[in-house]
């Protein structure tokens, strides 16, 4: 059986060579065989046509011809520099009223901003009084509004007698405070500048107390003018007479200076160190 097969293979070699020379090719791929015959360029050219005529594509071309656009594909020329206005009716546009709110919540307004402590003021603990009507505490320097502060070095002249009414007013104001917390309408943080503000201790107005007791003058056009007039009429505080200091005890007499302590409690006697008597206590 091998000899016939060998003879058949020898006979097939010249046949295949002849097919290649003739221009035929066989392409084998996958399970199918596609045969592409040699195209004769002169067979499809009509007699009398020029050499520039493009021959038609063969029927075996796999590229489909493009279809013409349908009625949905329309284009128009647009000038980018010209904006066409929209088509409007002949009567034009009419403005209508806005719709009503969906609920009452839409009509709510935001709450008003609140001042420190809801406008009740800031508490100043352990206040100090440099003068009557001037308070220093917690980094604040507050001048009670509505009054004219009596300076601590101010003097008053009553019946030809001069007396330190400023120091007396400061002492009276300190006795009124007694270290109690003062509430003043000041911002949350203090500063170096003096702030004029209303102050109170509990329900007592500090400015009202100072003016009605005569330890401060009512500011012109302020809320304490009437109280100031009553204090001046009653000669209270700085409007009164000089305090009587006759009942005060006299100044104590000067005492002799204390004896000077020795440099050492041991005394050198003939080369021996003996303790000395301590000095008598001063009286």
Q: Could you state, in order of their start, the residue ranges of all structural domains in the chain? A: 118-239
Confidence (pLDDT) at 117: 44
Confidence (pLDDT) at 22: 66
Confidence (pLDDT) at 208: 95
Give the residue, 62 or 81, on which the prediction is more confident: 81
Give the residue, 203 or 9, on which the prediction is more confident: 203
User: Does position 254 have pLDDT exceeding 90, yes or no?
Assistant: no
Q: Supply 197's token pair.
A: 């503000």
Confidence (pLDDT) at 47: 44
Give the residue, 197 or 243, on which the prediction is more confident: 197
Confidence (pLDDT) at 133: 94
pLDDT band at residue 32 using 50, 70 and 90 as cut-offs: very low
* CATH among 2.40.50.90, 2.40.128.110, 3.40.50.620, 3.40.190.10 for 118-239: 2.40.50.90
Confidence (pLDDT) at 56: 59
Confidence (pLDDT) at 116: 47
Q: Over the chain, what is the mean pLDDT?
A: 74
What distance separates the 2 farthest-apart alpha carbons in the chain?
Answer: 165
* Distance in angstroms (rounded) separating the CA atoms of residues 213 and 98: 64
Record the pTM.
Answer: 0.48
CA angle 121, 126, 130 (to 5 degrees): 95
Confidence (pLDDT) at 65: 64
What dihedral do alpha carbons 36, 40, 43, 46 form, nearest 10°? 110
* Most trustworthy range by pLDDT among 62-66, 113-117, 143-147, 256-260: 143-147
142: CB partners within 8 A, 6+ apart:
124, 134, 135, 136, 182, 184, 186, 194, 195, 196, 197, 199
User: Does position 255 have pLDDT exceeding 50, yes or no?
Assistant: yes
């Amino acid at each position: 059986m091998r000899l016939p097969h060998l003879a058949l293979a020898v006979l097939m070699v010249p046949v295949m060579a002849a097919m290649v020379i003739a221009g035929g090719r066989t392409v084998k791929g996958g399970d199918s065989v596609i045969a592409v015959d040699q195209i004769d360029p002169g067979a499809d050219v009509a007699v009398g046509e020029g050499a520039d005529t493009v021959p038609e594509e063969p029927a075996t071309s796999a590229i489909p011809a493009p279809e013409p656009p349908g009625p949905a594909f329309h284009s128009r020329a647009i000038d980018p520099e010209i904006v066409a206005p929209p088509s409007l009716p002949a009567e034009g546009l009419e403005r209508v009223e806005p719709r009503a709110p969906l609920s009452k919540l839409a009509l709510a307004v935001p709450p008003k901003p609140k001042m420190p402590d809801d406008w009740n003021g800031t508490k100043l603990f352990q206040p100090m009084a440099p003068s009557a009507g001037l308070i220093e505490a917690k980094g604040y320097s507050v001048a009670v509004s509505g009054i004219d502060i009596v300076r601590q070095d101010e003097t008053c002249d009553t019946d030809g007698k001069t007396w330190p009414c400023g120091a007396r007013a400061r002492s009276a104001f300190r006795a009124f405070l007694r270290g109690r917390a003062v509430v003043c309408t000041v911002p949350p943080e203090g500063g170096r500048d003096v702030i004029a503000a209303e102050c109170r201790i509990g329900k007592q107005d500090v400015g009202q107390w100072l003016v009605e007791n005569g330890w401060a003058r009512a500011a012109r056009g302020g809320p304490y003018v009437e109280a100031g007039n009553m204090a001046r009429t009653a000669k209270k505080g700085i409007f009164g007479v000089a305090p009587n200091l006759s009942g005060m005890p006299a100044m104590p007499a000067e005492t002799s200076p204390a004896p000077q302590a020795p440099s050492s409690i041991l005394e050198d006697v003939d080369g021996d160190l003996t303790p000395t008597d301590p000095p008598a206590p001063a009286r």
